[in-house]
Structure 1
């Protein structure tokens, strides 16, 4: 007869992939019951069988194993490795995006403050964050944590990267909660969605477990340098495009920049996918994940502009065009991602015996 403790442990093991459980579940259950002494013929063992639960250490051990198996560890199915590679690439690209934008924000601070005399006087800056100099002084240096988190991950130090990435995320949650509670109008839905997307990005760092493949340091550091070198194009576009300021800020705000960046990356992949780098099976799924997040941000931001700010028809049209382009790019990526997933099958040699 199955005891309550065994039932609870088997429920915990449902976190593991089905193929792994079919091979190892009975052995794991037997080992667990022996280790806790539940199979002994004593009064304490009988009480444990009826009322016991897996302790915290065992739960964490199973969670860690499930993460490694479902996100590309040793013994993982090919589809799990595909998911793991895609999530790791999402985390790297997301941190790269944050690191580059943080470098841009830090770099233009002297100019926006009017302290960099060789350049012309900056135009009026849109107010996106909390009001007041103390908040600006507190939040601008947080960009250094984003840069440090990306560099740590790029040099294969995922544990420090998680802590570094969590600092600006926690600060963002505090700031948005303050806005929602004390500022007129509260926090726009787009801002909350950005915070949630960033939260998902930090959680994606769990995919860098000890059995994950190493990050190609040179490739990602070069990508960061290239992004910083290309960033003046964004600054020039934000401040000097010959269109109304409202239209520039709407088209190149955070959701717009995400939509344009992912669209450009998706188009580049579709054009160059025959190359050696782009042939990696996880790239369509990676770009699809990013595309869906960017599409949600752009869609909610359009609703914000129309319902909260009474945006003009031109602003609505530009934002809708960005969303439409992204949707067109995501369609073939979804087909390629589904094809790559369908072509993978379980290789028995990959399951430890």
Structure 2
């Protein structure tokens, strides 16, 4: 059995679903079910004997110890995290608690469990920590992409809390010998992503006839990674990665935010056109930039390709089309998600921001 923390969230749920499509090794999903954790993401596994769920806070050491004693996993994949920069700016405490204290508590529970193993079970055990490229800071237009040896320079409470968790994972390997693996990924997109993030937000707003908000001038650059490709990368790292090593996972798809939104509008114009015949691009609106907004991220993913043979299968265009088609086919999931706290979040972060202005002609 493997444990997957945060397995009801976006990347975690995709990983659990993908894992059980590939093999029959059971999965225990651990999730606190905060706003972005949604059991509906795993609804297709209802009644599947290979999957179990435990609602648990990763800061609850006693609950973790009980789960380890009962299920005795051979690996732990640690996805659980607060993961949105804007939320971290307005409420950094939750990010420190979950990402730093939660990861520390996980590591302590894992160390106690692993220390009690013997023989092959101890030798083969792995703790895989899923992190982000944002720990490396921001790049200039001509700077080399982030590699595994790029110095950390986090610029938001979110990225600082993830950097702290990365350092703890590294320290537990070097101090205690815990067999850890760390992946630092670029911007994920795909099915089941909570619609506070750019791509699902724009899809939902476009279909609702709402403004498509873009921070600043839209020139911020990100490397976009389809979540299905990320899942295959994590499986490769778990199977073949060297304990103590870091593997950067990227899509080789650098795009400005404005290009992402324009491309998305073009695909929607093709497969789900507006009734008035106008392009969805007419809904683009620029809003005041967020504080400390990093200008560019880019991942050098040559190490994972060289050592483990992994490379993304999707281009940005193919992955984006798959994503749009999924959201069009799963309107009920979107409608259920876009309520309650999500609406409050939208009011806070987009509709009430000052200095908002519509896109200029041709933007």
Bigger strand fraction: 2
TM-score (structure 2 length as normaliser)? 0.28
Which structure has the greater CA radius of gyration?
A: 1
Structure with greater helix share of residues: 1
